[in-house]
Amino acid sequence: MSLTDCQLLKPMTEAAHAVGVLLRALDLPSGPARDRDELLHRFAAVDEPALALLRERLGPLLPGAVWADELDVRLPEHGEMWVADAVDGAVQLLQGLPQWCVSLTLVRERRAVATVLHNPLLGETCTAAFGGGARRDGRLMRPSVKRSLDAALLGTSQPPGVAREPEAVRGAGRSLSALLPKVGAVRNLGATSWQIADTAAGRLDGFWQYGTDDANLMGPALIAAEAGLAVTDLAGRPWRAGADGFLAAPRPLHSLVLATIRD
């Protein structure tokens, strides 16, 4: 018997928790890597066993689903795909910083339908299924109720491939310059996915980003939308895979952030 998307959240959560246990048990080298080659070697040593565990746990559930890395994170027009980042925020993990999580999303027909984010260090798990609401540790997530920018704490980040998108780099600089004088504070708090989940839970008041970043945004965008946030690109259109910008915030703040960026 096939599972519904809501029912899939249980084995997805169990798989994410198992990866969290694995990652916490790893004997990581002390001190940061000395160069890019060493950084990539350390990343592979962490990512490969974690991703293998996810495949072992989830592969039998949907034998026909492909895995994003098989297609270089390019979403197929039809069918199901697992978009998994076993160590989302690996740079932070390898630097000895705590802002990382396990990220797992099921995509169907290019739309996220179920997602799980697990932060092993916080011991927190965020889940959402399309039409089923967003929850953190089983409780419905409630966004911020702030209505003015001067009290708002916003998060931001950059896609891994932003160097290939010079206009996104320029947009990030312009938007930061526009927002900094008007908001309470702006922070980059690590993994994009967890920052969006924190926005859905009201810990952050909004999150924006320039550049195309489908792999990191598909699942968190579902969590944000299911929590009741406005989730758009930076032109104000509903966010879709392939968009070159992202904004998630409660509706009163969303319009203010968007207007400030546009101005």
Burial 54-63 (b: 16+ CB within 10 A, else e): beebbeebbe
Residue 184 in this model has a pLDDT that exceeds 80: yes
More confident residue, 76 or 242: 242
| Mean pLDDT on 8-20 | 97
Q: Which of 133, 135, 132, 130 is nearest to 108 (CA)?
A: 130
- Hey, which residues does 17 pair with through a beta bridge? none
Q: Tokens standing for 98?
A: 């705590």
Residue type, 71: L
pLDDT of residue 74: 72
Select, from the ranges 34-38, 75-79, 112-116, 212-216, the one with the highest average predicted confidence (pLDDT): 112-116
Residue 130 in this model has a pLDDT that exceeds 60: yes
d(CA 116, CA 83): 11
| Mean pLDDT on 145-161 | 95
pLDDT range class, residue 16, cuts 50, 70, 90: very high
pLDDT of residue 96: 87
| Mean pLDDT on 106-120 | 96
Residue 68 in this model has a pLDDT that exceeds 90: no
Residues 27-47 pLDDT 10s: 888 888 889 999 899 999 999
Q: What angle do CA 159, 244, 112 make, to 5 degrees?
A: 80
- Cα distances (Å, whole numbers) of residue 249 to 98, 173, 201, 227, 246: 24, 20, 11, 10, 10
- Hey, which residues does 115 pair with through a beta bridge? 105, 128
3-state helix, strand, coil in the chain (%, to 5): 40, 25, 35
Of all residues in the chain, the percent with pLDDT exceeding 90 is 82
Helix (H) or strand (E) segment spanning residue 46: helix 36-58
Residue 75 in this model has a pLDDT that exceeds 90: no
Helix (H/G/I), strand (E/B), else coil: 157: coil
Q: Strands 134-136, 206-210: parallel, antiparallel or unpaired by DSSP?
A: unpaired
| Mean pLDDT on 47-62 | 94
pLDDT of residue 150: 97
pLDDT of residue 70: 47
pTM of the model: 0.94
d(CA 64, CA 159): 29
Work out the widest C-alpha separation in the chain, in whole angstroms: 55
Residue type, 122: L
pLDDT of residue 240: 94
| Mean pLDDT on 123-139 | 97
pLDDT of residue 78: 82
- Hey, which residues does 88 pair with through a beta bridge? 101
pLDDT of residue 72: 56
Q: Tokens standing for 74?
A: 């390019």
> Residue 187 gets which letter from DSSP?
E
Q: Which of 85, 81, 126, 120 is nearest to 99 (CA)?
A: 120
Helix (H/G/I), strand (E/B), else coil: 175: helix
pLDDT range class, residue 71, cuts 50, 70, 90: very low
Residue type, 136: R
More confident residue, 36 or 179: 179
Looking at every residue in the chain, the average pLDDT score rounds to 93
